Structure 1
Amino acid sequence: MTRTVELTTYLPTDPDTAWEHLQTSALLHHITNPLVKFVPRGDGFPKRWTDGEHRAWMFLFGLIPLLWQAIVISRPEGPEGVRVLRDNGYSPVIRRWDHWIEIAPEDGGTRYTDRVHIDAGLLTLPVTLFAKAFYAHRQERWRVLAETGFRALDS
């Protein structure tokens, strides 16, 4: 049983700037903090995401272990004018965490969309409820970053 969560927000920044930041692991760490902390397995995350699989341990609030997650990056072609970053991830509990991020121009800024398709067997409903809160948190952190010119990533 697959469920989908989709949230869209407006970012007061140009799409090129949003796209450049989206492709960095620093942005992931910032926008998921303090709700989820990702600790890369192995040699760490690349500074700029490369296509392929990257694994991380996940910790709720930086303390409670949530097992590991595979982050599987690709950049599929989107509709005209829309840039797409896809994480077709999974974990020991979540069979499918297929996250599509879309960046598109809108009213002098950026329309940012998170869409994730989730299959976690019997845990799909609670994982979906968590995903709604997780992506709302991420989008709020994105908006603040954009409003402040992404200064928090420079420190």
Structure 2
Amino acid sequence: MKKNILLFGILGLMSNGYAQNNKPKSKTEKVVIEYKDKSVKGKQLTVSSEIPMDLDSAWANVKTPALLEFVAKGMIRFKTIESEFPKKWEVGQTYGVKMRIFGFIPFGGTHYLFIEKIDDNNNTISTKEWDKGAKVWNHDVTMKDLGNGIIHYEDSITIYGGVMTRFITAFAKRFYVHRQKRWQIVAKEKLNFTE
């Protein structure tokens, strides 16, 4: 009986350890960046987690707008202002969207998303983004294979919005934690957005 209790206790600790690892972790730091030829005070937000998914599948998915729409669902809905999103993000292209918080509250006017880099060798995507509120929203996605079908996933965002920087960063933190929790659904249900 005592052995069974001990065994269940150890299994519980092990499963809680994994749950702690795949729960998104965040860090915010003050940074000085250049904006319109001036040095301004911004924030650097980093949100990371472990996702039980093979790197190739995760990397193929992250290069699609369909994945962005899925992981943002429930918090932000995007409506393109010109044509529809492409099947895959295209380097050098800028996409304009209207964002609605919780699907109905307008936020930030037109948000522009410029795809600066998609690095297949290092599993990194970099975007430069901006709107009326967030003058700078530079976003890097990085993935690393940890082995055993688990990846380390990280969103790193440099944010500047003048007097609204702190508020925008608080919103961004909530949004990226939400996104990474939705990534767990992608992994669990083995969703594929490339088709």
Q: Is the pair's TM-score, using the shorter chain for normalization, greater than 0.5?
A: yes
Structure 2: 5+ residue stretches without partners: 1-40
Residue 47 of structure 1: how far off its partner (Å): 1.2
Instruction: Show the counterpart of 2:57.
Output: 17
Residue 137 of structure 1: how far off its partner (Å): 0.0
Instruction: Show the counterpart of 1:145.
Output: 186
Residue 41 of structure 1: how far off its partner (Å): 1.1
Instruction: Show the counterpart of 1:27.
Output: 67
Is residue 2:178 matched to residue 1:124?
no
Is residue 2:85 matched to residue 1:45?
yes
Instruction: Show the counterpart of 2:123.
Output: 83
Number of equivalences = 152
Question: What secondary structure is seen at the aligned counterpart in 2 of 1:2?
Answer: strand
Structure 1: 5+ residue stretches without partners: none
Could you tell me the TM-score, scaled by structure 1's length?
A: 0.92
Equivalent AA in structure 1 for residue 147 of structure 2: D
Instruction: State the percentage of identical aligned residues.
Output: 26
Residue 93 of structure 1: how far off its partner (Å): 1.7
2: CA distance, partners of 1:148 / 1:18: 12
- Choose the corresponding residue for 1:63, options 99, 104, 108: 104
1: CA distance, partners of 2:60 / 2:173: 25
Is residue 2:109 matched to residue 1:73?
no
2: CA distance, partners of 1:42 / 1:82: 31
RMSD: 1.8
- Judged with a 3 Å threshold, the aligned counterparts in structure 2 of structure 1 residues 135 and 148 are, in CA distance, closer, same or farther, namely same
Could you tell me the TM-score, scaled by structure 2's length?
A: 0.73
Deviations 1:9-50 (A, max 9, x none): 111111111010001111011000110001111011111111
1: CA distance, partners of 2:74 / 2:87: 20
Residue 94 of structure 1: how far off its partner (Å): 1.1
2: CA distance, partners of 1:82 / 1:146: 21
- Deviating runs (4+, > 3 A) in structure 1? none
2: CA distance, partners of 1:49 / 1:41: 16
Instruction: Show the counterpart of 1:5.
Output: 45
1: CA distance, partners of 2:118 / 2:180: 22
Kindly name which structure, 1 or 2, has the bigger radius of gyration based on alpha carbons. Answer: 2
